[in-house]
Amino acid sequence: MEEKFYRHIGVYGICMVNEKILVIRKSLGPYTGQLDLPGGRLEVSESLEQGTG
């Protein structure tokens, strides 16, 4: 039996200005309303920088 694996790679960025860190508030999913770092999911052929945008 052939098994299929799916990988999701999350990337996050840290933006710090004047000793303050940029955070976002989640609007979807099980963590709605919680604070998180900005980022996203890395797609095939994307760089880490592109995945955070």
Say if 34 falls within a structural domain. yes
Query: HSE (CB half, 13 Å, CA atoms) of 50?
Result: 6
Domain that residue 41 falls in: 9-52
Say if 37 falls within a structural domain. yes
Domain total in the chain: 1
Name the average pLDDT for the chain.
Answer: 89
Q: What digits encode the pLDDT tens for the residues 1-53?
A: 678 877 788 899 899 999 999 999 999 999 999 999 988 888 888 888 888 77
- What burial letters (b/e) apply to 9-48, b meaning 16+ CB within 10 Å? eebeeeeeeeeeeeeeeeeeeeeeeeeeeebeebeeeeee
Say if 22 falls within a structural domain. yes
Q: What digits encode the pLDDT tens for the residues 5-17?
A: 777 888 998 999 9
Say if 42 falls within a structural domain. yes
Say if 15 falls within a structural domain. yes
Say if 3 falls within a structural domain. no
Tell me the residue type at 49. Answer: E
The pTM for the full model equals 0.65
Say if 16 falls within a structural domain. yes
Cβ proximity of 17 and 27 under 8 Å: no
